[in-house]
Amino acid sequence: MQASSTLFEDSTTDIHVVRRDGSTTPLEINKIRTVVNWACCGLSANSIALEAHLTTRLRPGITTREIQDNLIRCALDLCSPEEPDWRYVAGRLHIWSLWKEITVSRGYQYGYYARTVQTKVLSEQYDRRILIYTDAELEIANTWINPDSDADYDYAGAVLLTKRYLLANELPQEAFLTCALLIASVETPENRLTWAKQFYEALANRQISLATPILANLRIPNGSLASCFITAMDDNLESIFDGIHDAARISKNGGGVGVNLSRIRATGSWVMGKANSSGGVVPWIKLLNDTAIAVNQGGRRAGAVTVSLDVWHLDLPEFLEMQTENGDGRRKAYDVFPQLVVSDEFMRRVAADEEWTLVDPYEVQTRLGIELALLWGEEFEKAYLQIEASLESKITLYKRVNARLLLKQVMRTQLETGMPYLWFKDTANRANPNQHEGYIPGGNLCQESWSNVKPGEEAHTCNLVSINLANLEDEKRAEICQIAVRILDNTIELTSPPFAASATHNAKYRTIGVGCMGLADWLAKRHLTYTHLQEISNLFEDIGYYCTSASMFLAKERGAYPAFVGSEWSKGHLIGAKPVEWFLQHASLPERFAKLSQDIKQHGIRNSHITAIAPNTSSSLVQGCTASVLPVYSKFFYEKWAKGSVPIAPPYIRDNLWFYVENKTLDQKKVVRAIATIQQWIDTGISMELLFNLNAGVYFPDEPERSLTAVDIFETLMLAWELGWGLPKNKLINKNQESNFKQ
């Protein structure tokens, strides 16, 4: 050890460095060593190895910022499946650099929170509503901050946190504390600080993750906090262009939007009485596509729009070809996310290998008086049979196809483009607690959140958080669920909806989405896998119960959501609009659900939708856990970023290596069954993807030459529908894609 230290010191004689304030000073190895030792403390990372890698990178006139960047790169170079802790060393070094930058910029780090608030309010970086707290209260809040919490991030998490979420001259714990105080600002004066402390500790300890719009926009004046929006277009120019305008406003504020176009007349339909005049849905999708490009999410990331179309629409074949390489480039849209709205009747005909009819909604409405897009379940089936009985006599714009061949065409498109999403309309609407007020036309961008939509009147709007199962002990489960629900209900009072239909929906339904991330970590820490369905069910039964109960208690305190009367909740139905008898039969603790049903009938419920599991791919990196409830893609891989490759590894890989089942080699039917088990206890949806590996021998170790076939994928999709949940998208790995997808 002494020899290495001496070599390091001898090689840096007479080197002067440039500090962050522009002054020069002789290089002091002990200062570097102090930082390196701090970054490696408590980790299985040898600080001397990091020093040794740095020696060749030092030169006269080097800046302290360059030294720090070189240390980070050295740590990343040392990271491997055998030594994954180096990514935490790199994360700490990145945070250290942030601390130093802010010290130079504003003259202090932590310890002066009230001063920070005053400065940022004056510069209009912070919302003035933070001034509801007195200086004395801000000083109390200042004592809650533990700077050591900043050292918990690996490199990917630290970079995402600082680059995407922090404001200028802001430290991580200041951001979390300000969010907590603002969220608690709607509480009663005597309870504000109590709740603020609980909110802050849940955020700082990474037990709850705020969705990107909340964490990014809550602190700034007039920020929109909702993550998920769904709009629908009527078949007229005013509605279409209003929808495009709404999508732009949503994107500006950092939200993702789903736009349903199923009511718009098909290609070749009538316009102003003239036959064969309509250009169909694709030209309008192209406008949405260009809007997503032009209006990015506050400069943080590209705009994100999913466009949905019902499976009976006559433009479906062109919709499926919209992102393929062949065909007319003028009718392509590569920057939106196509979503296919699938009915049970279609899936039944797929199973029976029967015919399916594609029709024009305008002709169906004008000649039969049927608004097909509004219908689902038995009403849709009855209307659809009436339409098919009217072919030729009244309906002239139609196309007959084989249902199974059509699904196979969808699968081929998914193989080529990864799209479209599949969203099961009847499944979602059966679980809709607000059937008395309307219907759900399609899913949101990430396919986990939805509720009633009326063009020009109500646009689905939902705020999200996620519970980090990796950092959550069992005894804290009830408390964290209660905190998560309260955080989201409070944000409804704080948000600035981007347009009128969003504000109407927010006030009427008070839709929220408590999700989860880190299930793979939770399982691995307990030496469980995705085949342990009973343990998974028990976990999410608890989460479903505690979150629903928390919303009921909020209703006792604050009142039920305005559309409660007549809802499925008001009838005593619970999660997913299921009758209480289902819970008495399937729950491990049925008595608590029986009481909850009675309590909700008596007191109401605060939020019409409560739980929804988002993909949280980026925020899970900040949280230091695996994304959502899916298996981890790989135990160790590199993700390509703008400035190089970044190592990604599950946080508990060293102690639980064999219980991290890699999704890239996992039979996806096992994933389907696990997600279906979770879905029983989630009242909205679960964003997920199926990942099929097409390399030979992956799923069939006893048959090394055998690879997955189209039949295997088809059977997996059918199983997903049969088990009753909606599918977003598929990813497929073949021999050529494996090296490029993720290493």
Q: Kindly list the catalytic residues.
A: 444, 446, 448
The DSSP-derived string for 58-118 is --TT-BHHHHHHHHHHHHHHH--SS-TTHHHHHHHHHHHHHHHHHHHHHS--SS-HHHHHH
Neighbouring residues of 558: CB distance < 8 A, sequence distance ≥ 6: 489, 606
Residue 39 and residue 48: Cα distance in Å, rounded?
Answer: 12
Residue 195 and residue 485: Cα distance in Å, rounded?
Answer: 13
Residue 264 and residue 233: Cα distance in Å, rounded?
Answer: 7
Residue 657 and residue 324: Cα distance in Å, rounded?
Answer: 39
> Do the bridges between strand 208-210 and strand 337-342 make them parallel or antiparallel, or are there none, so unpaired?
unpaired
Retrieve residue 89's tokens.
């060393």
Residues 440, 444, 449, 455: what is their CA dihedral angle, to the nearest 10 degrees?
-40
Provide φ and ψ at 585, rounded to 5°: -90, -35
Helix (H) / strand (E) containing 688: none
Per-state percent for the chain, helix, strand, coil, to nearest 5: 50, 15, 35
Burial of 411 (0-12, 13-18, 19+ CB in 10 A): middle
Residue 420, preceding bond cis, omega within 30 degrees?
yes
Q: Which of 372, 382, 364, 371 is nearest to 341 (CA)?
A: 372
Q: Which of 724, 721, 716 is nearest to 681 (CA)?
A: 724
| Coil/strand/helix, residue 403 | helix
Q: How many CB atoms lie within 10 A of CB 434?
A: 23
The angle, 0 to 180 degrees and rounded to 10, between the axes of the packed helices 377-389 and 344-352 is 60
- Which string of b and e fits 195-222 if b means at least 16 CB within 10 Å? bbbbbbbbbbbbbbbbbbbbbbbbbeee
Residue 178 and residue 216: Cα distance in Å, rounded?
Answer: 12
Q: Which of 437, 460, 456, 434 is nearest to 448 (CA)?
A: 460
Q: Which of 265, 231, 225 is nearest to 248 (CA)?
A: 231
Provide φ and ψ at 483, rounded to 5°: -65, -40
Q: Count of residues for the chain?
A: 743
Neighbouring residues of 596: CB distance < 8 A, sequence distance ≥ 6: 545, 548, 549, 552, 574
Look up residue 250 and give its amino acid. I
Look up residue 591 and give its amino acid. E
Retrieve residue 92's tokens.
């700490």
| Coil/strand/helix, residue 468 | strand
